[in-house]
Amino acid sequence: MAMFSHFPLMLRPTPCHRLDRASELLGIDLWIKRDDLSGFALGGNKARKLEFLIQAALESGADTVVTCGASQSNFVRQLSAGCAMAKLKCVAAVMDQPYEPGHELPQVAFTGRGNLVLDDLFGADIRRFPNGSWDDLYLHAHLLAENLRGQGANVYEIPVGGSSALGAYAFFLAADELPNVDTVVTASSSGSTHAGLQVAFRDFPTRVIGIACDPEPELIDDISRVANELCELLHQPPVGKEEFDLRTQFVGPGYGIPSDAGNEALRWLARTEGIVLDPVYSAKAFSGLMELARQGEFDGQTVVFWHTGGTPAIFAYF
Let me know if residue 36 belongs to a domain.
yes
* pTM across the whole model: 0.95
Q: Does residue 36 share a domain with residue 50?
A: no
Let me know if residue 141 belongs to a domain.
yes
* Domain stops at, among 115, 140, 161: 161
Indicate the pLDDT class of residue 191, thresholds 50, 70 and 90: confident
Q: Does residue 286 share a domain with residue 223?
A: yes
Let me know if residue 276 belongs to a domain.
yes
- What is the structure's pLDDT at 318? 85
Let me know if residue 1 belongs to a domain.
no
Active site residue 73: yes
Q: Does residue 83 share a domain with residue 21?
A: no
Q: What is the mean pLDDT of residues 177-190?
A: 95
Q: Does residue 155 share a domain with residue 169?
A: no
Indicate the pLDDT class of residue 215, thresholds 50, 70 and 90: confident
Q: Please give the angle made by the CA atoms of 317, 289 and 33, to the nearest 5 degrees.
A: 80
Orientation angle between helical segments 219-234 and 192-200, nearest 10 degrees: 50
- What is the structure's pLDDT at 116? 95
- What is the structure's pLDDT at 217? 81
User: pLDDT for 53-83, tens place per residue?
Assistant: 999 999 999 999 999 999 999 999 999 999 9
Let me know if residue 7 belongs to a domain.
no
Q: What is the mean pLDDT of residues 135-160?
A: 97
- State yes or no: pLDDT of 154 exceeds 80: yes
Average pLDDT for the chain: 94
* Domain stops at, among 161, 192, 210: 161
DSSP for residue 243: G
Q: Which value, to the nearest 10 degrees, does the dihedral of the CA atoms of residues 144, 145, 147, 152 take?
A: 140
CATH number at residue 124: 3.40.50.1100
Indicate the pLDDT class of residue 51, thresholds 50, 70 and 90: very high
Q: Does residue 40 share a domain with residue 141?
A: no
Choosing from 73, 164, 188, 259, the catalytic residue is 73
Report the C-alpha gap between 45 and 35 in whole angstroms: 5
Report the C-alpha gap between 80 and 78 in whole angstroms: 5
Number of domains in the chain: 2
Let me know if residue 2 belongs to a domain.
no
User: pLDDT for 248-257, tens place per residue?
Assistant: 999 998 888 8
User: Contact at 8 Å (CB) between 44 and 36?
Assistant: yes
In this structure, of 85-94, 109-118, 155-164, 230-239, the range with the lowest mean pLDDT score is 109-118
Domain enclosing residue 61, as ranges: 46-161
